[in-house]
Chains A and B, each alone.
Chain A
Amino acid sequence: MADPPVVRLTRVDVAFPEPSGAVFKAVSGASLEVAGSEFVAIVGPTGCGKSTLLNCAAGLLKPAAGTVDIFGTPLVGLNRHAGYLFQQDALMPWKTARDNIALALEVGGTPATEARDRAQVWLTRVGLKSFGDRYAHQLSGGQRKRVGLAQVLIRDPKILLMDEPFGPLDAQTRQIMGNLLLNLWAADKKAVMFVTHDLEEAIALADRVVIMSAGPEARIIGDHRIDLVRPRDATEVRLQPRFHELHKAIWGQLRAEVVKAYGGEIG
Chain B
Amino acid sequence: MLIARWKLLVLQALVAIVALGTWHIGSAGTFGITFLPKFFFSAPLDVGNRIVKMFVDGTVKIATCSEPLDLSRILQTNDACFGKTVWQHLLITSIEGLLAFVIGSLAGVMMGFWFARKPLVAAVFDPYIKMFNALPRVVLAPIFMLWLGLGIWSKVALGFTLVFFIVFFNVYQGVREVSPVILANARMLGMSERQLFRHVYWPSALSWMFSSLHTSVGFAIIGAVVGEYLGSAAGLGYLIQQAEGTFDVTGVFAGMVILAAFVLFVDWLVTLVENRLLVWKPPAASQQV
Chain A interface residues (CB < 8 Å from chain B): 58, 60, 78, 80, 82-84, 86, 88-96, 103-104, 107-108, 135-137, 151, 155
Contact = CB atoms under 8 A, between A and B. Distances in A.
A94 B277 CA distance: 10
B185 to A, nearest CB: 3
Interface string B159-173: 000000000000000
B281 A137 contact: yes
Nearest to B189: A104
Contacts of A58: 188
A103 B190 contact: no
**Interface residues of chain B: helix, strand, loop or mixed (majority):** helix
Given A86-B181, A103-B199, A107-B195, A94 B280 contact: yes
Contacts of A94: 203-204, 207, 280
A90 B207 contact: no
A108 B184 contact: no
A104 B186 CA distance: 8
B122 interface: no
A90 B187 contact: no
Contact of A80 (B190, B279, B281): B190
B245 interface: no
Given A93-B280, A95-B280, A155-B190, A84 B185 contact: yes
Contacts of A155: 189-190
Interface in B237-284: 279-282
Contacts of B186: 92
Contacts of A107: 189-191, 195, 199
Interface in B193-224: 195, 199-200, 203-204, 207
A60 B280 contact: no
A92 B184 contact: no
Given A135-B279, A137-B281, A92 B182 contact: yes
A135 B204 CA distance: 15
Contacts, number: 58
Contacts of B207: 94
A108 B190 contact: yes
A84 B199 contact: no
A95 B203 CA distance: 10
Contacts of A86: 181, 184-185
Interface of B: 179, 181-182, 184-191, 195, 199-200, 203-204, 207, 279-282
**Interface residues of chain A: helix, strand, loop or mixed (majority):** loop
A90 B182 contact: yes
A90 B179 CA distance: 8
Given A94-B203, A94-B207, A107-B190, A88 B282 contact: no
B185 A90 contact: yes
A88 B181 contact: yes
Given A86-B181, A90-B181, A90-B182, A136 B188 contact: no
A128 B52 CA distance: 58
Nearest to B185: A90
Contacts of B191: 107
A70 B44 CA distance: 80
Contacts of B182: 90-92
Interface hub of B181, B188, B199, B282 (most chain A Cβ within 10 A): B188
A155 to B, nearest CB: 7
Contacts of B281: 93, 137
Contacts of A136: 280
Interface hub of A80, A92, A103, A135 (most chain B Cβ within 10 A): A92
7 contacts: A58-B188, A90-B182, A91-B185, A92-B186, A103-B189, A107-B195, A107-B199
Interface hub of B184, B185, B281 (most chain A Cβ within 10 A): B185
B187 A78 contact: yes
Contacts of B188: 58, 60, 78, 82-84
Closest 3 CB pairs of A and B: A90-B185, A137-B282, A135-B280
A53 to B, nearest CB: 16
B286 to A, nearest CB: 16
Contacts of B280: 93-96, 135-137
B193 to A, nearest CB: 12
Nearest to A87: B181
Nearest to A137: B282
A250 to B, nearest CB: 30
Given A92-B203, A94-B207, A103-B199, 15 more contacts: A60-B184, A83-B188, A84-B185, A84-B188, A90-B181, A90-B184, A92-B182, A92-B200, A94-B204, A107-B189, A108-B190, A135-B280, A137-B280, A151-B189, A155-B189
A89 B183 CA distance: 11
A21 B281 CA distance: 40
Nearest to B204: A94
A92 B189 contact: no
Contacts of B282: 137
A51 B189 CA distance: 18
Contacts of A93: 280-281
A110 to B, nearest CB: 12
